[in-house]
Amino acid sequence: MLEAPRSVRSLRDPSAPLEGATVLVAVGGGVAAYKAAELVRLLDKAGARVEVAMTKSAQEFIGPMTFQALTRRPVFTDLWSLREEGEIGHIQLADRADLVIVAPATANLIARLAGGRSDDAVSAVVLATRAPVLLAPSMNVNMWNHPLTTLNIQRLVDVAGYKVVGPGDGFLACRWTGPGRLAEPADIVEAAAHVLSPQDLAGTKIVVTAGPTYEAIDPVRFVGNRSSGKMGVAIAAAAQRRGARVTLVLGPSAVPPPV
């Protein structure tokens, strides 16, 4: 009997979950769209094969040429283009993806996705994909706190199984301060790595000690080390990505702990 071919994801190195993965970044039309360029760069640096789709409003904030230069691939922008849709391009793009990241996911785009709309480049690809979808919301604080936005997010999470990263708190472009800020690109990449990692450590509790920890012998002397903490933090992050519940004991260190 012939064995069914294993997916690319099953062959991927668990220590480098983005290496060789095809990641589609779907860019929505918000002022944070410019940060998607940094996100694409970091994904490419992590070894992912990055493709980009943009809404028409996203193109008002940043041009497709920027993403084409970063990915070295054409950018999908128009559902009605004969050139892009000659071979049903949005379905091919959806089928190639191992992960779809919607960043920034505006209130309007979230509402469209929650309603099952598929009448533009981004919504059609996202609706057609069978890959996991990661939303990175970005909007005004009042829009984020609106009960309809909460309902739409909940629907996408509960019904469609979407994952959400962010938003963060901070000073927004609209001069409001509060939740609604796009998660930092590095945090989105970490969330993407988590989504693509095997959850073989789920239910496992792991304690990691890292950094220059000290144990007193008496009031004067102690046993310690000069560790930077980098290795321990990396181990904690890798275990967390694979589903473990991690407790990190971190001594004084310049290395930030995993989120």
* 259 domain residue, yes or no: no
Instruction: Provide the pLDDT for residue 8.
Output: 44
Q: Which of 174, 202, 231, 259 is catalytic?
A: 174
Same structural domain for residues 86 and 172?
Answer: yes
Q: Does 228 or 85 have the greater pLDDT score?
A: 228
Same structural domain for residues 125 and 234?
Answer: no
Same structural domain for residues 35 and 154?
Answer: yes
Residue 227 in this model has a pLDDT that exceeds 70: yes
Instruction: Provide the pLDDT for residue 35.
Output: 94
Based on the residue annotation, tell me whether 174 is a catalytic residue of this protein: yes
Encode 41-57: b = buried (16+ Cβ within 10 Å), e = exposed: ebbbebebbbbbbbbeb
- Per-residue pLDDT, averaged over 24-35, amounts to 93
36-73 tens-digit pLDDT: 999 999 999 989 999 999 999 999 999 999 999 999 99
230 sits in which H/E element: helix 230-241
Instruction: Provide the pLDDT for residue 7.
Output: 41
Instruction: Provide the pLDDT for residue 11.
Output: 46
Residue 203 in this model has a pLDDT that exceeds 80: yes
Same structural domain for residues 187 and 228?
Answer: no
Same structural domain for residues 165 and 230?
Answer: no
68-124 tens-digit pLDDT: 999 999 999 887 765 555 567 788 888 899 999 999 999 999 999 999 988 888 999
Q: Is the separation of the CB atoms in 74 and 68 below 8 Å? A: yes
Same structural domain for residues 127 and 241?
Answer: no
DSSP-derived secondary structure for 27-55 = E-SSGGGGHHHHHHHHHHHTT-EEEEEE-
* 255 domain residue, yes or no: no
Residue 10 in this model has a pLDDT that exceeds 70: no
Same structural domain for residues 217 and 156?
Answer: no
Final residue before a domain boundary, out of 150, 172, 196: 196
Instruction: Provide the pLDDT for residue 199.
Output: 82
Instruction: Provide the pLDDT for residue 125.
Output: 92
Instruction: Provide the pLDDT for residue 213.
Output: 79
Region for 43 from its dihedrals, namely left if φ exceeds 0, alpha if ψ lies in -120 to 50, beta otherwise: alpha
Residue 1 in this model has a pLDDT that exceeds 70: no
Same structural domain for residues 186 and 222?
Answer: no
Instruction: Provide the pLDDT for residue 4.
Output: 35
Cis upstream peptide for 167 (omega within 30°): yes
